[in-house]
Amino acid sequence: MRGLIVALTMASTVAIAHTAHAAEESSTEYGCEDGQYYNGFQCVPEDDEEQETTGCSQNEPTVPDIPCTGPFGPFDPSFDRYVRPVPDDEIGRYAPDGIYGCPGCLHDGIWENYPDGWIYQLHMHIGHNTGTPSPYQLDRVVWLGEPPGLPPVDSAVLAQQILDDMDLEPAEVGIAPRPIDEDPGSMGLVGAPVWMWVVDPSPQTWGPITDSASERGTTVTVTAAVEDAEWDMGDGRRHVCTEPGTPYEARMGVRDSPTCGHRYEQTSGSKPGQAYVVSVTTRWIATWESSTGETGELDVDPLTSTAQIRIGERQLIEQ
């Protein structure tokens, strides 16, 4: 029995040595570096179990765990190839009358839609490096209307980006009597007309404001405008005005605002700082339309600004 075990052990040693020698020859044949071996598809670390996977594999020819981005662009599973847009200085060679002097015979039809879209080279991983300058090989050339590996442009997402770039701003409070931060001595009277308006309304504070952007052939246009402004007068009452309001001028005398006004019924004496906090909140509507024919609306957060005014009582002095 002992002799049989020794014989088997020797046979196993010879087999292992032969396998290691074959692997070494294989690695040398396919140009693998020290510490790597050729697994039938490519050079991999000798400790293959610890090899980190890339998540990308080519099906034809089968090459597992290839780089997801190579010298010829990203690997696109839908093409099972690396995809490279043809540079401007090379595009002419694929024209029917290109430098190859063979109209249409190499890449028939791909030039018909150019310059709409683009022409792409599809490169395959040949599985190993056999001493050639590159383990990649040009497989074919195609024309594509959209860049490969990318989903169609989401018009709603692009519209939101446009809206975000508009930098909409709160409306500045215009009010008579004047805010106390502008005139500490200013005071209105109970029962007297109060005028409210938006100071110098602009596209960013009132609208309308329109902007467009394009991405991969899709153009989206967004228009935003204030639907209404809600005035919180600080006394428990509110007014909704659909216009920016009319600025007050002294020549207008004591009369109600023709567009947006209020009358206080009590003084502000019991309020903090003996002043009413007046706020104006603008509510926006934003709509978009796409060159694809899609349309939609976007949510816009209301924008608010505030001011403080004092309201007192008229004192009657009897003689």
Quick one: what percent of the chain has pLDDT higher than 70?
A: 72
pLDDT the model gives residue 2: 36
* pLDDT 10s digits, 21-63: 434 444 455 567 777 766 555 566 766 544 556 778 899 888 8
- Threshold 0.75, pTM exceeds: no
Residue 146 lies in a domain: yes
Closest CA to 265 of 276, 251, 280, 252: 276
Asked whether residue 20 falls in the same domain as residue 99, the answer is no
Pick from 35-49, 191-205, 214-228 the range whose average pLDDT is largest.
Answer: 191-205
Asked whether residue 39 falls in the same domain as residue 80, the answer is no
Asked whether residue 144 falls in the same domain as residue 220, the answer is no
Asked whether residue 137 falls in the same domain as residue 14, the answer is no
Residue 304 lies in a domain: yes
pLDDT the model gives residue 296: 97
- d(C-alpha 60, C-alpha 148), whole Å: 19
Structural domains in the chain (count): 3
For 58, which DSSP code? Answer: B
Q: Which residues pair with 36 in a beta bridge?
A: 45
- d(C-alpha 202, C-alpha 165), whole Å: 16
- d(C-alpha 231, C-alpha 228), whole Å: 10
* pLDDT 10s digits, 222-274: 999 999 999 999 999 999 999 999 999 999 999 999 999 999 999 999 999 99
pLDDT the model gives residue 34: 78
Return all residues near 252 (Cβ < 8 A) that are at least 6 apart: none
Residue 218 lies in a domain: yes
H helix or E strand, kind and range, residue 308: strand 303-309
Asked whether residue 260 falls in the same domain as residue 169, the answer is yes
- d(C-alpha 139, C-alpha 267), whole Å: 84
Closest CA to 125 of 76, 159, 187, 82: 82
For 48, which DSSP code? Answer: G
Question: Which structural domain, as residue segments, surrounds residue 19?
Answer: 1-50
Asked whether residue 261 falls in the same domain as residue 209, the answer is yes
Return all residues near 9 (Cβ < 8 A) that are at least 6 apart: none
- d(C-alpha 94, C-alpha 109), whole Å: 10
Return all residues near 319 (Cβ < 8 A) that are at least 6 apart: none
Residue 319 lies in a domain: no
Of 128, 150, 172, the residue at which a domain comes to its end is 150
- d(C-alpha 156, C-alpha 288), whole Å: 8
Indicate the residue type of 97. D
Asked whether residue 71 falls in the same domain as residue 139, the answer is yes
CATH number, domain of 220, equals 2.60.40.10
- d(C-alpha 107, C-alpha 121), whole Å: 11
User: β-pairing, 218-232 with 209-215?
Assistant: antiparallel
- d(C-alpha 205, C-alpha 186), whole Å: 26
Of 107, 133, 150, the residue at which a domain comes to its end is 150
Residue 318 lies in a domain: no
Residue 234 lies in a domain: yes
Asked whether residue 159 falls in the same domain as residue 40, the answer is no
Residue 173 lies in a domain: yes
Q: CB-based burial of residue 265 (10 Å sphere; 0-12 exposed, 13-18 middle, 19+ buried)?
A: exposed
Q: CB-based burial of residue 150 (10 Å sphere; 0-12 exposed, 13-18 middle, 19+ buried)?
A: exposed
The full 3-state SS of 125-148, as one line of letters, equals ECCCCCCCCCCEEEEEEEEECCCC
Asked whether residue 228 falls in the same domain as residue 162, the answer is yes
**The dihedral formed by the CA atoms of 104, 108, 113 and 115, expressed in degrees to the nearest 10:** -60
Indicate the residue type of 287. T
Asked whether residue 21 falls in the same domain as residue 127, the answer is no
Asked whether residue 78 falls in the same domain as residue 91, the answer is yes
Residue 8 lies in a domain: yes
Count of residues in the chain: 319
* pLDDT 10s digits, 52-100: 567 788 998 888 888 887 888 888 888 899 988 887 777 777 776 554 4
Of 150, 180, 201, the residue at which a domain comes to its end is 150
Asked whether residue 302 falls in the same domain as residue 176, the answer is yes
